[in-house]
Amino acid sequence: MLDVERRQQIVAYIEERNGATVAQLSARFGVSEATARRDLGTLSRRGLIERAHGGAVPRRQRHDQGFPEPPIVERARVMVEEKRRIGEAAARQVRDGETILIAGGTTTAHLIPFLAERVDLTVITNSLSIAGLLAPHQGIGVIMLGGVLRHSELSLLGALAEDALENLRADTLFMGSPAVHVDYGLSADDMAEAQTDRALIAAARENVVLADRTKFGRVATVRVATIAQVRRIVTDAGIAADHLAALREQGIVVDVA
């Protein structure tokens, strides 16, 4: 097992059990206690766990940072110009004749105005707000997924959406994320949304994440995807240089809008 894979599994192990000792980690992952301590030191410095006497506990910082996310209506008023530029840059990845998936969110919504000139475009979405924004564009085909409404996000989740996605394929998924970490990947706080997001990812050939600078270096409750499942990230010019470098080192294309 590679060091990065072991550390990812250590984070999940600590979160699942609400903490672990160095001895437990050593036995579970077949490494020396010295190696386990070094792993915990690395994960602690990256903000993925918190050190405790003789071991570690789950990271608490997400609560300090304001998780869970405020409702979509509130977030729509934040960093509007940055999100507009991100949407415009992301739209350049869309070609005539494609079928794309657009997940709900305040950043992905800014894609829509820049898709108006595309020819023979089909959009699949589980977002009521995205569907509403697409409604005036009669030249764009829209497939609306069913599901259980998450009121705060205006998104449709659950088995109905996931079953439909098993029978649909798209060229590209455009999605947002409240938390993007180079080691932990994409994460969120709502279990049902995370599960549906995984189905969206599985239905697309490529995954493009739209995220402003505030989303990087953060970890939420539930992992949605590893960073290896992301092909491209579109963000704003305020992204920290260390986050940008770390993502590119992982082979991810990062567009700075």
Q: What is the pLDDT along the chain (257 residues), one digit of tens a residue?
A: 678 788 888 988 887 777 889 999 999 999 999 999 999 998 888 878 888 778 888 775 444 444 455 678 777 777 899 999 999 999 999 999 999 999 999 999 999 999 999 999 999 999 999 999 999 999 999 999 999 999 889 999 999 999 999 999 999 999 999 999 998 899 998 889 999 999 999 999 999 999 999 899 888 888 999 999 999 999 999 999 999 999 999 999 999 99
How far apart CA 235 and CA 86 sit, in angstroms, is 6
Domain boundaries, the chain: 3-59, 72-256
How far apart CA 37 and CA 34 sit, in angstroms, is 5
What phi and psi, each to the nearest 5 degrees, are found at residue 111?
-65, -40
pTM of the model: 0.75
Sequence-ordered alpha helix ranges (H) in the chain: 3-17, 22-29, 33-45, 61-64, 72-75, 80-91, 128-134, 159-165, 191-202, 241-249
What phi and psi, each to the nearest 5 degrees, are found at residue 254?
-115, 115
> Are the folds of 3-59 and 72-256 the same?
no
- Please identify, in words, the CATH class of the domain defined by 72-256: alpha beta
CA 118, chain centre distance (Å): 26
Residues 8 and 16: beta-carbon distance below 8 Å: no
What does 130-180 look like in DSSP terms, one character per residue?
Answer: HHHHHTT-TTEEEEE---EEETTTTEEESHHHHHHHTT--EEEEEE--SEE
Name the fold adopted by 3-59: Arc Repressor Mutant, subunit A (1.10.10)
